Structure formats: C-alpha cells, structure tokens
A = this chain, B = another copy of it.
Amino acid sequence: MESQYKESNNIGGIESGGGDKEVKVANKRKTRGWDVVLRFLAVALSLAAAVVLGLDKQTKTVAVTLVPTLPPVNIPVVAKWHHLSAFVYFVVANAIACGHAAISLLLTLANKGTNKGISILIIILDLIMVALLFSGIGSALAIGLMGYEGNSHVRWPKVCNVFGKFCNQAAAAIGLSGATSLAFFLLVVLATFNLHKKH
C-alpha cells in the first residue's frame, strides 16, 4: 500500500503537490537566491572599496617657512594611500575579499549545494573574510579618525584640514568595505540558519 502511494506520488508529483518537499525546494531556492545576490554585492562593493582607496591621492600646495627672515615658500605636498600601512592593509584585504567573493559566486552557481565539502569550505572562507574585512576597517578607521582629529597626547597633528578630499575619499572606501563585511556576515548567518532548517 505504502509503496503504491509512493509511486503514484512520484508520477503524479506535479498535480498532487507533495507539499512539504515543494516548500523545502522553494526555501532552498530562496536561500540560494539570497546567497547569489549577497556574493554579487560583495564582489561589487569590495572592488569599489579597494579602487576608491587605491586611487586616493591629493596634491596640495603648502606654505612652508624655511628661514624665519624670508617669506614662506610654497611647496606641493602629495597625500597617497600607500603612505599609510593601515590603508595598504585595507586595500589588500578588500582585494582578497573581492577575489574570494567572485570565485565563491562561480562555485555556488556551479555547485548548486550538492557538494557538502565545497559548501563548508566556502562558509569557512566567508568567515575568514569577515575577520579580514573587520580588521581592515578597524585599522583604516583608527588612522582615518586620527587624521581627522589628531591627538595632542602623542603630538600627532590632524591632517584632514589640509587634505580634506583625501580623507573624505578614504571615508567613502571604509563605508563601502563596511557594506561588504555586512554581506559576508549575512552569508555566514544565512549558512547557519540554512543548515538548521535543511536538516
């Protein structure tokens, strides 16, 4: 009797529905859809973050007094992203995240969740990206804020009053990287929920 029911369900699956299974398949598709969207966003946002800071450069003519008895001399001073190691780390971290997001996007589309090993590998790499991006954001933000405000205790003067455009571009890059890290964060959360639901 049971085997008969199973057979009829297999053959007539489209008409009779097979409710629970359909809901599961629909849920799986929905999750994969979000997964693909988030990875695509991660590729775009991390690329944008790396490029925005990687192209950050500002030349400013600053009046410097060389000899007290002579009038100040105008000297062009250049601010570049690779002058600060925290910004270099930030750009490299975002470039790595971009590469991982692109490869994992292709793997997710090719894999379709059938290979468990690949799924676990992708989750763990996503988690490493969360750590990498947050440390990059932390370091760039710490240096950026120091540039905006300076610190009298360690005698580091603010530099953003002179290099305003440079600092604003760095802030935009940090914002973009923040959105990328959120995407990876949600990917890990999604994977956790997915595992709980699926099984």
**Which A residues have a C-beta under 8 Å from some C-beta of B?**
79-80, 83-86, 116, 120, 123-124, 127, 130-132, 134-143, 145-147, 151, 153-157, 159, 181, 185, 188-189, 191-193, 195-196, 198-199
Cα–Cα distance between A198 and B191 once the two chains are bound (Å):
15
Task: Tell me the nearest residue of chain B to A154, going by C-beta.
Answer: B159
- How often does this chain occur in the complex, in copies? 2
Closest 9 CB pairs of A and B: A199-B199, A138-B138, A135-B138, A139-B142, A138-B139, A83-B153, A195-B195, A156-B156, A86-B142
Interface of A is mostly: helix
**A135-B138, A198-B199 known; A127 vs B189 contact (CB < 8 Å):** yes
A-B contact pairs, 23 of them (CB 8 A): A84-B151, A84-B153, A85-B142, A124-B189, A124-B192, A127-B130, A127-B185, A127-B188, A130-B130, A131-B181, A132-B134, A134-B134, A138-B138, A138-B139, A138-B140, A139-B139, A142-B142, A146-B146, A147-B154, A156-B156, A188-B188, A195-B195, A198-B199
- A132: B residues at CB distance < 8 A: 134
Cα–Cα distance between A138 and B130 once the two chains are bound (Å):
13
